[in-house]
Amino acid sequence: MVQIKDEGIVLEVTDLPFENEAVLNPACIEVNGITHMFYRAVRKGDFVSSIGYCQLDKNGKVINRLDHPILFPEHDYEKKGVEDPRVVFLDGVYYFFYTVYDGKNAMIAYATSQDLAHFEKHGIISAQFTYDEAEDLFRQSKVRESYQFFESVLKDRVGKDVYLWEKDAFIFPKKINGKFALVHRVLPGIQIAYFDSFSELNDDYWRKYFVELDKYIILDPKYEFESRNIGGGAVPIETEDGWLLIYHAVEDSKYGKIYHASAALLDYDNPTKVIGRLRTPLFSPKESWEKTGEVDNVVFPTGCVLRDDRLFIYYGAGDKLVAAKSIDLGSLLSALKRDTVAS
């Protein structure tokens, strides 16, 4: 049993118009002893999301918080929200990944920055074709039938012309075999895409990619607590044993959907090779503010910071606020290596 410490609530809503409904799902990166946190902020009324910003000190306490969003909707493809950021520093550049929502389609976009204060948006990088087109591609690959199941679910829920639903994207903080390595999520699993330049990520690239999607799956749902789907959480952490991936898992239970946090250890040179994977959740909803919120029974890990060999995991709780847990990194890696048989 891995011992998890509750670090409590980190961030709650304010009276500011852009974040008076909910704050959740933060990205975190530590620079010179300061943790920069970018979080999804939701306003009341129309529930449009933007990205807020604050800083945490070495004890994880908020010391600075902007009174305005640092990223917000500007284009038609994001008119209903920019959501769930992740931030990665690679080769002197801060890469900022987020979900854009236009009221029907959820897609991946990215921006870059030199200083974490000014961002240049570069637009959508995920596939912009429909699930009908995607279904044809899935049939040519060797993915599970559940990939086609979600195609049917989303068409019924959103509409036949909905684009492939993409979320939870970020790159590894190092190039793998000389290439960018993008973690993304096509329901129900977690996949990886390799490329030399972001300019490659057009529809032709994605069509060829999805024909061979089975070769690029990092994790598919495996255990009961992830019976519905899984998705990438925090940016992978480089350890002496491999890449540590904290992810979220969704269980279809008799009480409805339950969101858990879990962990996997991936091979350093080939992240589709799983070294270890927890057979039970890392943590699950238990506090009142995790069990009841905008969405009940949600812990949604999206940001990690390593301080003195202790891993701090920041997550959205109940889709309403931001909280944190911490764990000894060595203990977690030992648990993952013990679970190699189940990986």
- How many CB atoms lie under 10 A from the CB of residue 93? 11
Phi-psi category of 84—alpha, beta or left, where left has phi over 0 and alpha has psi -120 to 50?
left
Q: How many domains does the chain have?
A: 1
3-class SS string, the chain: CCCCEEEEEEECCCCCHHHCCEEEEEEEEEECCEEEEEEEEECCCCCCEEEEEEEECCCCCEEEECCCCCECCCCHHHCCEEEEEEEEEECCEEEEEEEEECCCCEEEEEEEECCCCCCEEEEECCCCCEHHHHHHHHHHCCCCCHHHHHHHHHHHHHCCCCECCEEEEEECCCCECCEEEEEEEECCCEEEEEECCHHHCCHHHHHHHHHCHHHHEEECCCCHHHCCEEEECCCCEEECCEEEEEEEEEEEECCEEEEEEEEEEECCCCCCCEEEECCCCCECCCCHHHHCCCCCCCEEEEEEEEECCEEEEEEEECCCEEEEEEEEHHHHHHHHHHCHHHC
Write out the two tokens for 257: 């959907």
Pairing state between β 81-90 and 106-113 = unpaired
Q: Which domain holds residue 185?
A: 5-342
Q: How far apart are CA 12 and CA 29, in angstroms?
A: 20
What tens-digit pLDDT sequence spans the chain (343 residues)? 689 999 999 999 999 999 999 999 999 999 998 999 999 999 999 999 999 999 999 888 999 999 999 999 999 999 999 999 999 999 999 999 999 999 999 999 999 999 999 999 999 999 999 888 888 888 888 888 888 777 677 777 777 788 999 999 999 999 999 999 999 999 999 999 999 999 999 999 999 999 999 999 999 999 999 999 999 999 999 999 999 999 999 999 988 999 999 999 999 999 999 999 999 999 999 999 999 999 999 999 999 999 999 999 999 999 999 999 999 999 999 999 997 644 3
Q: Give the pLDDT confidence score for residue 248 in this predicted structure.
A: 98
Contact 183, 172 (CB under 8 A): yes
Write out the two tokens for 64: 């600075």
Q: Give the pLDDT confidence score for residue 202 in this predicted structure.
A: 95
Residue type, 266: L
Length of the chain: 343
CATH (domain of 22): 2.115.10.20
**Interior angle at CA 9, CA 315 and CA 4, nearest 5:** 65
Residues 143, 300, 98, 76, CA torsion sign:
positive
Q: Give the pLDDT confidence score for residue 158 in this predicted structure.
A: 76
- How many CB atoms lie under 10 A from the CB of residue 175? 14
Q: Give the pLDDT confidence score for residue 278 in this predicted structure.
A: 97
**Interior angle at CA 234, CA 26 and CA 119, nearest 5:** 55
- HSE-CB at 296 with a 13 A cutoff on CA atoms is 7
Beta-bridge partner residues of 170: 183
Residue type, 231: G
